[in-house]
Structure 1
Amino acid sequence: MKSFAHFLLVLLLAYAAGMILPWWSVALVAFLVTLLMPLSPGKSFFSAFMGIFVLWMILAFYMDVRNDHLLANRMSEMILKVRSGPLMGAVSSFLGALVAGFAASTAAFVRAPKKVA
């Protein structure tokens, strides 16, 4: 249940931060949420990864439909050499999710107790 709350908080705060901050604000949000709601590094990575992946897929689909698939198809032709708007959305969502996941796991490692031998 704590992982779902973490997922939801990352998703909502990243959406709010994305309105006024640059794209990399997802890393700040994932880092801060994980500092406030401690999880294990693996769970925090997966939770933040899925939160940003879902958010960016929804936003990419919404923007793609609004401009009649023109921009995503052209960008996918230019970057991926394939005409596929959904693939472009999935690739960009995956990259953003990796950034958030690594930021969240970094916060989990920072917060982990240090063992001194």
Structure 2
Amino acid sequence: MLFLIILILSLTAGFITPWWAAAIIAFVAALYAGKEPGRAFLSGFFAVFIVWVVLALFKSVPNNHVLASRVAVLFHLPGWPVLLILTALIGGLVGGMCAMSGVYVKRVFEK
């Protein structure tokens, strides 16, 4: 359930808010629905990972990946798919850490 909450809210917010909105969404969702830190991390990681892949492809496909290819060359990467995966990994780590933090904050206030 936590995965779906983070996925839907982050995808919806991703079109109109800055990148860090996914972190706030993951934190608040885990604060509300999270139970275990490990599961919250995985839910946040994979939800934000998927959202960032979808949002990046949504922006990159219409222009034939021109900007993504140039940025990949700038960072000495083999191609735009590697840049896409690295971007999604960074987003996933942000989402996972924020979701895990939300569960830990929830535990602090429960005691």
Same fold per TM (> 0.5)?
Answer: yes
The runs of at least 4 aligned residues of structure 1 exceeding 3 Å deviation read none
Secondary structure, counterpart of 2:34 in structure 1? coil
Report the alpha carbon displacement of residue 63 of structure 1 after superposing the two structures with TM. Answer: 2.3
The residue aligned with 2:42 is 46
Whether 2:87 is the aligned partner of 1:92: answer yes
Given the two structures, how large is their TM-score scaled by the length of structure 2?
A: 0.90
For the aligned residues, what is the CA RMSD?
1.6
C-alpha deviation, 1:58, in angstroms: 1.8
TM-score (norm 1): 0.86
Superposed, 1:24-103 pairs within 5 Å as 24-79=20-75, 81-103=76-98
Could you tell me how far apart the structure 1 residues matched to 2:70 and 2:11 are?
25
Number of equivalent positions: 110
> What do residues 59-104 of structure 1 show as CA deviations (whole Å, max 9, x unaligned)?
222322211111111001102x024111111101110111111111
Q: For residue 81 of structure 2, what is the amino acid of its counterpart?
A: P
Residue number in structure 1 paired with 2:101: 106
Runs of at least 5 residues in structure 2 that lack an aligned partner in the other structure:
none
Q: Give 1:16's aligned residue.
A: 12
What percent of counterpart residues are identical? Answer: 33
Larger radius of gyration: 1
Q: Note the residue ranges of structure 1 that are not aligned, 5 or more in a row.
A: none
* SS class of match (2:91): helix
For residues 3-46 of structure 1, the C-alpha deviation after alignment (integer angstroms, 9 at most, x for no partner) is xx211110110122223321001110000101110220000000
* Structure 2: distance between partners of 1:58 and 1:21: 15
**Aligned-pair distance for 1:113?**
5.4
Q: Distance in 2 between matches of 1:51 and 1:63?
A: 19
